[in-house]
Structure 1
Amino acid sequence: MTTATIPAAPATTAHTAAPAFTADPTVHRVLTGDRPTGPLHLGHYFGTLQNRVRLQRQGVEMFVVIADYQVITDRDSADRLAEHTENLVLDYLAAGLDPDRATIFTHSAVPALNQLLLPFLSLVSVSELSRNPTVKDEIAHSGQAAVNGLMFTYPVHQAADILFCKANLVPVGQDQLPHLEVARTVARRFNERYPHADGSAVFPRPEALLSDAPLLLGTDGGKMSKSRGNAVSLGATEDETARLIRGAKTDTDRRIGYDPVNRPEVASLVLLAALCQDRTPEEIAAELGDGGSAVLKRTVTESVNEFLRPMRDRRAELATDRGYLRQVLRDGAERANAVADATLAEVRAVMGSI
């Protein structure tokens, strides 16, 4: 498997746009993933899944981690973990990820990956972790009276996720850049402290592939979330989809327009219909005219159901064979373990711990 050599980068995180790497996609290795806390929804599809499938088709090597250990960063227990994990695999495959080309695995199935956390923690100070803005935000929204150690250190755990396979490209949103900067810092400091005998680096410094995915709001006008019941899941029935969209928040203006600043809820619904129809939101808004929210919601419902129908059919077919889903995870774990074991052996060698 091929990885690119990342040149020395400035202190701030490097950003890569899609056109910059498609000329030779095979030199890139991507690490991406999700926590198994519930079903994936339309926000996930248009925000990440669609792009993962596109990258895979372009020939980019992809590792997809189902971050089961990270479920307990902000909750007391990992409820229905096996079920949620298998359902994530269902969503991945139904969306178009090919398990023969993408390595799909769980945290807990790759011990060597998690062993990297220990030397990596020695490279990051407590004050650096406490200043991480994403960690501070997660802590503020966790609802927990006390913060556990995993919550505090999980940016370093994510660095292990990225670096175990020597990923050099990580799709992230703007709010996740601080986490990627931790991975880049860990890679730089490890390379400086423990270079190969010839002076070469062990780890690449991963770059951010910033998403240009559109922002879709939940049906309540807030952030679309698995836990808030405000999102259409990829596995929802057509009737469930209609019910959720029928209850979506809009406004009293009958004229349908696309104005994300002043009419965010209406604009989000217009955008969703546009994404499903592969058209511009302006075209959808102009077509709906003075139809009001009822016509808008009917159009969105029909668009979503039509768009998701092939994916849902594929998902229903795959769901009849749970053994196959577990085999996908076993195969992915076997490949991920081979990579992680080699990386850990290399780390031990340069640290002189063999």
Structure 2
Amino acid sequence: MDSPKAEKRWPDIDCAGNLEQLKTAREKGQRRLEADFFSLPVEEAIAALNELHDALIVRVLALAENDLARSGFGAPPVPYAYMLYGSGGRLEQTMHSDQDSGLVYEDARDEAEEEVNRSYFLKLAETAVEYLIAIGYPPCEGKVIASNPVWCLPLTGWTKRIAGWFAEPSWENVRYLLIAADGRAIWGDAGLANQLRSRYFGDLLGHPVIERRMLDNTLHHKVLVGVFGQLLTERYGENAGGLDIKYGAYIPMVNAFRLLAMRAGIQETNTLRRIDALLGEGWLNPSEAEETREAFLLFLKLRHFTSTTMEGGRLVGTGKLPASKLTKEMVAPLKKALKVGKNIQRKVQKELPIRLGGGRAK
């Protein structure tokens, strides 16, 4: 199958014939990017890194299809799309991101065909996930992954699943709906993914109760800056004196702009593109857009200073900036950026209920 976006920048990846070669190509590519990462503009460096991840995942899927065919499973029986969620869906992965994925395939004509399709695509998803683990991508701890039958469905199955999440607005279902908003097709039939997204956004407009629950979920993670502008660093343990960049800076802004974009009917998944689109739709003024863009770019950069830990023989990012890397030169711009993030959270908290038809939030 064809990828929605052909990559020409990584010939070692395109030519890799097995997982060992692909793992070597990843390590080589990341070393190359690490050497230039902090000399490039942040947006350019992040884009290059995510092109690398996309190329690796696309090659894994090609190898998985080929290996299934050689093993007697044949070619994909119907068109499908492999989806990325989380930072992959947003094109915001770090060097050590995990797998967040799903798979949607075309509806069958009858039950017998559906059983064939279901069996094939679960096997394909399991194979792809296993291969990605082998080259250094750990699976999502929350089981948002294509090898989980919940996230590997035909189009009508996805439609019913999403309708069920909308019908029962539990915290977990709202979390799944927010995750689904970041879905991006990386391989296969992008038209299927577009149909899924169109149905998703159509359902969203008819569920104001869900939107209010999404607001609660969105504001769950607070920006780590105090009332006097001080950094709210870790107080205890091995990370004492450090700052949780992932959940105290980056994720709060991701969440805020995702919800604003969803309410505005903007289907972009990348946060910077969401900011630009919100400016164009009048949800942000030019000053807000400029400040938030600058703040978010700083958070994207600082995520690459965060520490890592070894889990299952693989390096995994902690999302936490160690005290040793929190330099004096970094503190002032970080405080400024965190204040911008806090202001955006306040904007969402105050303005979104009004746009939803309710009163101003207290």
Pick the TM interval, shorter chain: under 0.3
Structure with more relative contact order (C-alpha pairs < 8 Å, separation 6 or more): 1
Normalising by structure 2, we get a TM-score of 0.25
